[in-house]
Amino acid sequence: MELFAVYITTPAISAYFGVQPDYSDFKAIEGSIPVLLIFLALSWTLAAFGEEICFRGFFMERIARIFGGGSLAWILSLVLASAFFGWGHTEQGVSGWVQEGLSGFLLGVLFLLARKNLMLPIVAHGTSNTLAFILIYLGKYPEVG
């Protein structure tokens, strides 16, 4: 998922909007094992676990319930939760916002494919962020300010 974002969707989204995502908040990770470890711990607890509980486990469930709980309701909940997930990353600029919305959509699809079991999107989210942070640490992640 992360490699797809880094090498395919983010460049396409950035070209469309004419601006790269702002990843400058992550610059401190580059070359620093202690900072990398802090970000990894925060990522697995707050992002992988916390965001998946919130956006896929709670938000998607509530939206689907509001709209009747059928297949169309779950598709609507997937789209709305993904949009809000992207919006939660506005510090990355419009390209980052759209990219994170797309990532949220993919995580939501995993949630639905896993029969609404959160383990798959939690592990996918944590693994994706881990790969991103390792690439940033190594100085190999594009566009880190």
Give the distance between the most distant pair of CA atoms in the chain. 50
pLDDT tops 80 at residue 143: no
The answer to whether the CB of 14 falls within 8 A of the CB of 98 is no
Report pLDDT for 118.
97
Residue type, 63: I
Report pLDDT for 144.
80
Number of domains in the chain: 1
pLDDT tops 70 at residue 145: no
142: in domain: no
Count CA within 13 A, CB hemisphere, residue 85: 30
Q: Which helix (H) or strand (E) holds 136?
A: helix 119-137
47: in domain: yes
pLDDT in tens, 117-139: 999 999 999 999 999 999 999 99
What's the domain range around 67?
2-9+28-137
* Residues 6+ away with beta carbon under 8 Å from 71: none
Output the average pLDDT for the chain. 95
Residue 140, Ramachandran bin (φ over 0: left; ψ between -120 and 50: alpha; else beta): alpha
23: in domain: no
pLDDT in tens, 71-122: 999 999 999 999 999 999 999 999 999 999 999 999 999 999 999 999 999 9
